[in-house]
Amino acid sequence: MTDRRYLYAEIDSLPGSEDEVRMLLAGYGARVREEPGNRQFEAFNPDGDPAKFFVYEEYESEEAFEAHKAAEYCERFNRLLAPLVVGGGSRLTLLDPIA
């Protein structure tokens, strides 16, 4: 059994906020990829829709994921994202691998 953490986030930008959300995600992703425990961070526009975002993340361990969540820039990203998106944030789904 692996301690690795997998998750995805779905984000729907409010009308007119698409470019700002894209820029926030690009800067945030660059920081996340520098984390020692991060294995992958990729952001997408599902079905080519510029208002919808899908983010896939992997961390080498639960501890690495917890360190990520505690990072100051993670809190800042979420605070800046909130007024730009439907529901005030992303919808996170944690994934459990099937053996």
Q: What are the pLDDT digits (tens) for 5-41?
A: 999 999 999 999 999 999 999 999 999 999 999 999 9
Asked if 39 and 59 touch (Cβ cutoff 8 Å), the reply is yes
- The model's pTM: 0.92
Type of residue numbered 80: L
Q: Give the neighbor-by-neighbor strand order of the sheet with 91-95.
A: 38-44, 52-59, 5-12, 91-95
Question: Above 90 in pLDDT, residue 2?
Answer: no
- In contact, 22 and 41? CB cutoff 8 Å: no
The bridge status of strand 52-59 relative to strand 91-95 is unpaired
| Strand, coil or helix: 82 | helix
* CA–CA–CA angle 1, 93, 17 (5° rounding): 145
